[in-house]
Amino acid sequence: MFRLSVLTRTASSHLSTLVKLLTLLFAIVLLFGTIIHFLEPAVFPDLFDGVWWAIVTVSTVGYGDYVPESLIGRIIGVGLILTGVGTFSFYLGNVASSAVSTRDDIETGKWSFRQSGHILVVGWNERSRLLLDMIHRHNADQHVVLIDDSLERKPQSMNWLHFVRGSASHDQILQKANVSKAHTAIITADSHVDESTADIKTVLSILAIKSVNPDIYTIAEIVTEAQVKNARRAGADELVQSSLMLSSLMNNGPESHGVSRLMLTLLKKDTKNIMQMKALPEECIGLTYGQLIEDWRFDGEHLLGIWRDDTAELLPPDDYKLQEEDHLVVLLKKSGSG
């Protein structure tokens, strides 16, 4: 599969050169085939016989079904061998070297991504490695592009991944990643620098990505509290405050043993129940939370609370009034699970 992809990309990238070589090769075959046909009509009764002999000769197959008998015919054959075989060998060598060069460009992150509807992941670290594995495990057909400036080559275990080497804050790199056609960008914090610098790099990446594709949904990891507002100003649609999440889980640990395992279970896609946010139905706007619980059928969904202004109100009081921008926080039971 990968070799076929390499050859396909090679043919498209070197199409002009290959077409010129093929045209020259065809012209040589047609010329010598025509000459030998008119020179020895008894041996080569029609033009196709002459062209067939020329093709067999330049490809060095040498079936021997047609052989010039006259001296001048054999001299023509020698001329065909010297010109046609050399051209044919040069063509094959060009294809082979282009394939090797293209594969090396793909492996080292120099090749541009041309497809659309992909997920863009910025930064190579343990978090992004696990993320990429999860994406591929749950949807093997999903195209994913990794941007990173620390990797020398694409991770060996991820042949399905397209790798672009460089910084996500540079327009040239974003163009190679075809960010204008991507639907989601996930930016992880750079683990090779200090936390403050990592957040600054994340904010710059958000700004660059949003400037190229304002409609792309951007999820960014922020480590320090100081850069949260800047990340929102840069256009991040969703922020993952990794330090805050980790500290909160650890803080709950002494009083609620196992809460970290519980949260991890709720976040996994391969569990029977998953937690989701759903837009509040229009007919529920203006109702109280108590009326919502009493009147609304959730079809297997368990209501946990309301999401409002980036804050979850879990199990609010019955007189809590629902607003237009609210979202329902629900625990959804997957279909087919027992």
Q: Note the pLDDT of residue 70.
A: 85
Q: Would the pLDDT of 179 be above 90?
A: yes
Q: Where are the domains of the chain?
A: 2-107, 119-245, 272-338
Q: Facing residues of 314 across strands?
A: 305
Higher pLDDT, residue 174 or 18: 174
Find the mean pLDDT for residues 151-168.
92
pLDDT band at residue 273, thresholds of 50, 70 and 90? low
Contact (CB, 8 A) for 140 and 166: no
Which pairing describes strands 238-241 and 217-222: parallel, antiparallel, or unpaired? parallel
**CA–CA gap between residue 297 and residue 317 (Å, rounded):** 19
> Helix, strand or coil for residue 201?
helix
85 sits in the region (left: phi over 0; alpha: psi -120 to 50; else beta) called alpha
Contact (CB, 8 A) for 13 and 103: no
Find the mean pLDDT for residues 263-292.
78
**CA–CA gap between residue 233 and residue 204 (Å, rounded):** 11
* Cβ neighbours of 48 (radius 10 Å): 11
CATH fold of the domain at 272-338: Alpha-Beta Plaits (3.30.70)
Q: What token pair was written down for 161? A: 């991944």
Q: Note the pLDDT of residue 59.
A: 77
Find the mean pLDDT for residues 145-162.
92
* Least confident window among 169-178, 227-236, 245-254, 297-306: 245-254
* Least confident window among 86-95, 168-177, 214-223: 86-95
pLDDT band at residue 7, thresholds of 50, 70 and 90? very low
Q: Note the pLDDT of residue 119.
A: 97
* Least confident window among 27-36, 79-88, 264-273, 279-288: 264-273
Find the mean pLDDT for residues 80-108.
75
Q: Note the pLDDT of residue 57.
A: 82
Contact (CB, 8 A) for 318 and 290: yes
Report the chain's mean pLDDT, rounded to a whole number: 83
Q: Is the Cα torsion angle 285, 291, 293, 296 positive or negative in sign?
A: negative
Q: How far is CA 42 from CA 32, 74, 199, 279, in A?
A: 16, 15, 82, 84
pTM for the structure as a whole = 0.63
Contact (CB, 8 A) for 235 and 212: no
Q: What token pair was written down for 261? A: 């395992």
Q: What is the pLDDT of residues 188-236, one digit of tens each?
A: 999 889 999 999 999 999 999 999 999 999 999 999 999 999 999 999 9
pLDDT band at residue 336, thresholds of 50, 70 and 90? low
Q: Would the pLDDT of 337 be above 60?
A: no
* Least confident window among 114-128, 148-162, 257-271: 257-271
Q: How far is CA 104 from CA 101, 107, 124, 153, 239, in A?
A: 5, 5, 20, 9, 36
> Helix, strand or coil for residue 164?
strand
Which pairing describes strands 301-308 and 311-314: parallel, antiparallel, or unpaired? antiparallel
Q: Would the pLDDT of 148 be above 90?
A: yes
* Least confident window among 64-73, 101-110, 240-249, 326-335: 240-249
Contact (CB, 8 A) for 23 and 91: no
Q: How far is CA 317 from CA 294, 301, 304, 322, 324, in A?
A: 13, 20, 12, 11, 18
Q: What is the pLDDT of residues 315-335, one digit of tens each?
A: 899 999 999 889 998 877 665
**CA–CA gap between residue 126 and residue 224 (Å, rounded):** 19
Q: What is the pLDDT of residues 40-82, one digit of tens each?
A: 888 888 899 888 888 888 777 766 677 888 888 888 888 887 7
**CA–CA gap between residue 164 and residue 185 (Å, rounded):** 14
Q: Would the pLDDT of 18 be above 70?
A: no
Q: Would the pLDDT of 309 be above 60?
A: yes
* Least confident window among 82-86, 215-219, 280-284: 82-86
* Least confident window among 73-82, 109-118, 141-150: 73-82
* Least confident window among 92-101, 183-192, 216-225, 289-298: 92-101
Query: How much of the chain exceeds pLDDT 90, in percent?
Result: 37
> Helix, strand or coil for residue 18?
helix
Class (C level, CATH) for 2-107 = mainly alpha
Contact (CB, 8 A) for 192 and 183: no
* Cβ neighbours of 113 (radius 10 Å): 20
Contact (CB, 8 A) for 76 and 35: yes
**CA–CA gap between residue 265 and residue 272 (Å, rounded):** 9
**CATH 3.40.50.720 is the classification of domain 119-245:** yes
Burial class of residue 254 (count of CB atoms within 10 Å of its CB; 0-12, 13-18, 19+):
exposed
